[in-house]
Structure 1
Amino acid sequence: MERTSSGSSIISDASFEPRHNYTFTRCDAEAAHRVEMHFKSLPPHDQHAMQLRNLIRYLIKNPFPVEDEVLHKILKLADSVFFGGVLFGRVRWEWSNPSQPRFETELIGTTALREAAQGGYETLIVLSEPILKHPDYDRRLLLSAFLHELVHCYLFIQCGFTARSHGGHTDGFHAIVGIIDKWAGSGYLRLCEMKANLNHFLNDRGRVIDVKLGTLRGHRHDGCNQSPGPQGEYLETAGFNPGWV
């Protein structure tokens, strides 16, 4: 069983694949439609949308490490701009633990969920610290991975475990990341790519190293992986506070 740095454990069950059913298809479509309608209802100069855009641009232009508090702020702003407050109190995120080798070579992010004490579902995002904090990659990789996982959180909260259909990359998921990607600048964060080609996110330092080595990395990592088990096998976390966001 894998654990994050805080002791949170993730129960994986890659074999679980819910069968297609009309109820989920409708829920998936309705969840995506709610994002579309909420985003369209924002005023032209929505304060939170402007803050989120400016924060993203600022992070990409500045080389210093991203502090955890900044990602917390992005979560709250993205929730306001795209998800209509659905994520509030139901999303927690952490960096991966060194004891989790998948996050060094295979995954840049994953989202797990469980039933929440207050009803519905709550989610836990785990981000790859070795990859997303690596000095060879610019901030777009971290921002892309984080926003990608927030979309999974939204659909899990709205539709439950069945949102793992198609590896979590449902029609609704594609519709939502398309909205965010277009808002950010089509192709800028590459949210619509389900697997992250790390070459696209190399910064100047990474490109110089590649040239000196005379090689092309060609690294492709899973953009995300859904790790919760089927209903009845919930994410067990040490010290998980359901009301924290």
Structure 2
Amino acid sequence: MERTRSGNSIVSDTPYEQVPYNGSSIDTDAAAAKRVEDHFRRVPKELKQKREEHERRLRKLIKLHDPKDPGWLDDKSLLGILTACDTIFFAGDLAGRVEWEWSSLERYREELIGTTAFRRRADGQGFETLIILSEPILRNSRYDRRLLLSAFLHELIHCYLFIRCGFDARIDGGHTKGWHRIAKIINDWVHSWVGVDYLSLCNKEANLEHFHNRQPAH
């Protein structure tokens, strides 16, 4: 069993069981994707102001002053992205169920940019997730901040599907039809105000060339 520097397991410590999610059955992949679609497109009037506030915050975190601004994304910024995305896209399902850590283990130096694992919560109420991010790659100045943005959003979709669907979310390496459907919703929203091909979120694997930092050296 591989563990992070803090000792957290990055594979499930407990066998999978068909457990209830907040009192309801685990979703199918299609139902989980539709839940995101419905939540994103149908905003109740009483929640519209809150939604707009989170959209403004997320836009600022993604774009800053320039779409390719090399400004650093620290863990506080990632928390802001998680909170905003949970409000805008995931209907609050990620709250208290997502953590992340950085790793410099060998497989995260060349092979992996990020992975997500999940396990049953200690209280028995569904699942919780852990994202592992590659420190050597995602904090490498060769790449601009879009690579970390893309990787983090990519893994948040996995988190959501693990939380809603359990082990069924591992089909096709986790890149189910539902995953692609959700990625397109987020990708299209980002592209609508930043520009096409900014994050390339719909790709299962990151093309590092797309994220090369072309800012002039100071």
Name the TM-score, length of structure 2 as normaliser: 0.82
Residue number in structure 2 paired with 1:177: 183
Task: Count how many residue pairs are aligned between Structure 1 and Structure 2.
Answer: 194
Farther off after superposition, 152-161 or 56-65: 56-65
Per-residue CA deviations over 1:52-79 (Å, capped at 9, x if unaligned) read: 1121101855434322111111111110
Q: CA deviation at 1:10?
A: 2.4
Residue number in structure 2 paired with 1:56: 62
Residue number in structure 2 paired with 1:197: 207
SS in 2 for 1:196: coil
Residue number in structure 1 paired with 2:15: none
Q: Calculate percent identity across the aligned residue pairs.
A: 55
Residue number in structure 2 paired with 1:236: none
Return the match for 2:110 from 95, 105, 110.
Answer: 105
Residue number in structure 2 paired with 1:28: 29
Residue number in structure 2 paired with 1:2: 2
Residue number in structure 1 paired with 2:101: 94
SS in 2 for 1:151: helix
- For structure 2, which runs of at least 5 residues remain unmatched after alignment? 13-24
Equivalent position amino acid for 1:93 in 2: W
Contact 2:86 2:94 in 1 (8 A): yes
Name the TM-score, length of structure 1 as normaliser: 0.74
| Cα distance in 2, alignment partners of residues 154 and 11 from structure 1 | 16
Q: CA deviation at 1:141?
A: 0.4
Residue number in structure 1 paired with 2:198: 188
| Cα distance in 1, alignment partners of residues 173 and 71 from structure 2 | 34
Return the match for 1:138 from 144, 160, 183.
Answer: 144
Residue number in structure 2 paired with 1:78: 85
Residue number in structure 2 paired with 1:66: 73
Q: Looking at both structures, which has the greater relative contact order when contacts are Cα pairs under 8 Å and sequence separation is at least 6?
A: 1
Q: CA RMSD in A?
A: 2.2
Residue number in structure 2 paired with 1:11: 11
Per-residue CA deviations over 1:59-118 (Å, capped at 9, x if unaligned) read: 85543432211111111111001001000011111111x3x2110010000000000123
Equivalent position amino acid for 1:111 in 2: T
| Cα distance in 2, alignment partners of residues 178 and 65 from structure 1 | 25
Contact 2:10 2:130 in 1 (8 A): no
- For structure 1, which runs of at least 5 residues remain unmatched after alignment? 13-22, 209-245
| Cα distance in 1, alignment partners of residues 70 and 176 from structure 2 | 35
